[in-house]
């Protein structure tokens, strides 16, 4: 475990300590009860949600793969962490070019820290029709090899 320290105004640090004690150790009882109900209750909505994200993942990974941009197929996520297409070095530059040419927004990996450079994060939050439209736009604006 890594130790963390804070230096600053004593009133602010006191408030921070109080907040951290509630977040780290004292989860509100109603939240605990809601978590139990969610885990013990009917899981049909979970299965349906997983199927939705699997369909979205397959549309994107297969579609981008057909365009020549290969990426791993995540097993359980609402995000795809994709390596930059060949020829690109900067996740920010690639995302800006994608936005300007195709009107499609992806998040540069570097936004999540220096280890994220070389990747983009694709959120699978749009419906299937919008994802297919994004593939058409990307395909008409980019040639990946």
List, for residues 66-77, the tens digit of each pLDDT value.
999 999 999 999
pLDDT of 1 > 60? The answer is no
The predicted pLDDT at position 2 comes to 64
Per-residue pLDDT, averaged over 84-112, amounts to: 97
Kindly compute the dihedral angle of the four CA atoms of residues 32, 34, 37, 41, in this order, to the nearest 10 degrees: -140
Per-residue pLDDT, averaged over 117-127, amounts to: 97
Same-domain status, 115 and 51:
yes
The predicted pLDDT at position 3 comes to 66
Same-domain status, 76 and 19:
no
pLDDT tens, position by position, 7-39: 889 999 888 888 887 777 777 889 999 999 999
Angle between helices 44-66 and 128-141 (to 10 degrees): 10
| Sequence-ordered alpha helix ranges (H) in 1-145 | 10-24, 29-40, 44-66, 91-102, 128-141
User: Is 82 among the domain residues?
Assistant: yes
Q: How far apart are CA 62 and CA 64, in angstroms?
A: 6
The predicted pLDDT at position 44 comes to 97
The predicted pLDDT at position 48 comes to 97
Residue 21, CA distances (Å) to 6, 17, 29 in order: 15, 6, 15
Inter-residue contact 85 to 94 (CB < 8 Å): yes
Same-domain status, 52 and 105:
yes
Same-domain status, 15 and 84:
no
Inter-residue contact 120 to 106 (CB < 8 Å): yes
User: Is 1 among the domain residues?
Assistant: no
Q: How far apart are CA 131 and CA 41, in angstroms?
A: 32
Q: What is the mean pLDDT of the chain?
A: 93
- The residues facing 79 across adjacent strands are 123
The predicted pLDDT at position 51 comes to 96
Domain that holds residue 35: 10-40
pTM: predicted TM-score of the whole model, two decimal places:
0.76
Same-domain status, 97 and 131:
yes
pLDDT of 59 > 90? The answer is yes
Angle at 110 between CA 98 and CA 81, to 5 degrees: 70
Q: How far apart are CA 123 and CA 69, in angstroms?
A: 16
């Amino acid at each position: 475990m890594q130790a963390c320290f804070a230096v600053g105004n004593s009133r602010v640090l006191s408030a921070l300590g109080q907040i951290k004690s509630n977040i780290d150790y004292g989860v509100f009882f109603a939240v605990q009860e809601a978590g139990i109900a969610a885990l013990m209750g009917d899981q049909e909505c979970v299965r349906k949600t997983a199927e939705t994200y699997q369909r979205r993942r397959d549309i994107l990974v297969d579609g981008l793969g057909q365009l020549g941009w290969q990426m791993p197929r995540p097993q359980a996520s609402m995000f795809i962490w994709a390596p930059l297409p060949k020829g690109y070095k900067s996740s920010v530059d690639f995302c800006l070019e994608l936005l300007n040419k195709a009107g499609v927004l992806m998040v540069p990996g570097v936004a999540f820290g220096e280890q994220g450079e070389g990747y983009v994060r694709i959120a699978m939050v749009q419906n299937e029709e919008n994802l297919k439209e994004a593939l058409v736009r990307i395909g008409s604006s980019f040639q990946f090899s």
